[in-house]
Amino acid sequence: MSFKALAKSQPAVAAVLQRSIENKRLAHAYLFTGDALEDMALAARELAKALNCESPTKQGGCDKCEACQKIDATTPPGGQHPDVQWVFAESKSRRIRIDLMRELERLLRQKPGMGRMKVGVVFEADRQTPEAANAFLKTLEEPPDRSLILLLTVQPEQLLETVQSRCQRIQFGAAGAKLNPEHAPVLDALLALLGESGSVLAAYRLLGAVRGFLDAEKKRVEAEVEMRMQLDRYREVKDEDWHKKMEEEREAQVEAAYRRARGKLMVGMEWLLRDVLVCAQEADAKLLFHQDRREALVPLGRKVGLERAMDNVAVIEEVQEQLERNVNESLALEVALLRMCGLSAPAPVVT
């Protein structure tokens, strides 16, 4: 794939990384941020390949040598290259514990075994516990020779200021803002809710559309992770601790992928509500994100009104924050949609 694949979705990022390698001016640590977590992971893999490929090109790794193939491997998560270590949040706690970061530190301080450089990738770095983040500070302050640290997050504000200041930030484009045709039934139901002020029935129709999309996404990511990990091939392995660890890893991958899909749906809904706000302010319709729904949005904005349009944007922002804090998903969504149709509802609780 090389940086050509990354350039299709993140051309500016690909150019920066490629130029830094060519000029031999890579930073010791990078903070990848934005809402394009999949692109961040792709960039991390391509950067690791470019630095460890047996026959590197101007476009990055060759994708054919043993090093590139090991970095691209999907089992275990993050690949099989001994010099490229990925850290993921645990399945149950959805947190990155201090022992995981200390293990990463240990690996980074070793000499490269197969490649030219050690690469440590912390996926969803905002999931670190405070203890883990503080313990890793020393490594960021005094990085080992021939090592590169990559922190990937969609919520950089959750990281310690001292962590952020020790990394070179690279901003990824807004992948979540791309139109997703699979979101159409939910967006149609949201428009119907906004047009039927005070309709509880419309609120529950929208909840059904959201729930239907999320249930389908859950099944999709489960199947995708199962195919990628291929755990059935290892049924004869007798080590129960290994099986338990792999099952926890499977659950963690499913949960992470599901959260990303849910987050993108919430972003799509927020963009639509922001479009309604634009129309309520009688601003230029050229500013609308959902240009394909322009004819419906312009009169809807006038009908909804400025105050309610602003309230609805606040509601969708609030429910996104609640879902990140592990509030009960179904209750949080139900309360939010009832509030959008002008009804009060009990506050959701954290599970």
pLDDT digits (tens, 9 = 90+) for 121-135: 999 999 898 899 988
Mean local confidence (pLDDT), 111-127? 92
- pLDDT score at 233: 66
> Which string of DSSP letters, residue by residue, matches 292-350?
GGHHHHHHHHHHH-HHHHHHHHHHHHHHHHHHHTTB-HHHHHHHHHHHHTT---PPP-B
Q: In this predicted model, which residue has the larger pLDDT, 267 or 121?
A: 121
Identity at 261, one-letter amino acid code:
A
Give me the CATH code for the 2-175 domain, please. 3.40.50.300
- pLDDT score at 206: 92
Q: How far is CA 252 from CA 93, 259, 317, in A?
A: 9, 11, 25
Give the tens place of pLDDT for each residue, 40-87.
999 999 999 999 999 988 778 888 999 999 998 877 777 889 999 999
pLDDT exceeds 70 at position 316: yes
Mean local confidence (pLDDT), 160-180? 79
Beta-carbon contacts of residue 100 (< 8 Å; ≥ 6 apart):
87, 90, 132
pLDDT band at 174 (very low <50, low <70, confident <90, very high): low
pLDDT band at 91 (very low <50, low <70, confident <90, very high): low
* Contacts by 49-57, CB closer than 8 A, 24 or more apart: 49/2, 50/2, 50/3, 50/17, 50/18, 50/21, 51/21, 51/115, 51/116, 51/117, 51/119, 51/148, 52/81, 52/83, 52/84, 52/112, 52/114, 52/115, 52/116, 52/117, 52/119, 57/2
**CA 262/CA 324 separation, integer angstroms:** 11
**CA 106/CA 67 separation, integer angstroms:** 21
Q: Highest mean pLDDT range out of 159-168, 207-216, 232-241?
A: 207-216
Q: Which of 159, 170, 157 is nearest to 19 (CA)?
A: 170
Mean local confidence (pLDDT), 180-202? 87
Percentages (nearest 5) of helix, strand, coil residues in the chain: 60, 10, 30
pLDDT band at 287 (very low <50, low <70, confident <90, very high): confident
Mean local confidence (pLDDT), 144-154? 93
Q: How far is CA 72 from CA 49, 168, 219, 304, in A?
A: 8, 25, 24, 49
Residues 31 and 172: beta-carbon distance below 8 Å: no
- pLDDT score at 178: 60
Average pLDDT, the chain: 85
Q: Where in the chain is the domain with CATH 3.40.50.300?
A: 2-175
Q: In this predicted model, which residue has the larger pLDDT, 229 or 226?
A: 226
- pLDDT score at 106: 92
pLDDT band at 176 (very low <50, low <70, confident <90, very high): very low
pLDDT exceeds 70 at position 35: yes
20-29, 214-223, 318-327: the lowest-pLDDT one: 318-327
Identity at 251, one-letter amino acid code:
E
Residue 164: strand pairing partners: none
* Contacts by 306-309, CB closer than 8 A, 24 or more apart: 306/277, 306/280, 306/281, 308/280, 308/342, 309/273, 309/276, 309/277, 309/279, 309/280
Mean local confidence (pLDDT), 222-235? 73
pLDDT exceeds 60 at position 213: yes
pLDDT exceeds 60 at position 349: no
Q: Does residue 121 sit in helix, strand or coil?
A: strand
pLDDT exceeds 60 at position 345: no
Q: Which of 333, 260, 224 is nearest to 89 (CA)?
A: 260
pTM over 0.75: no
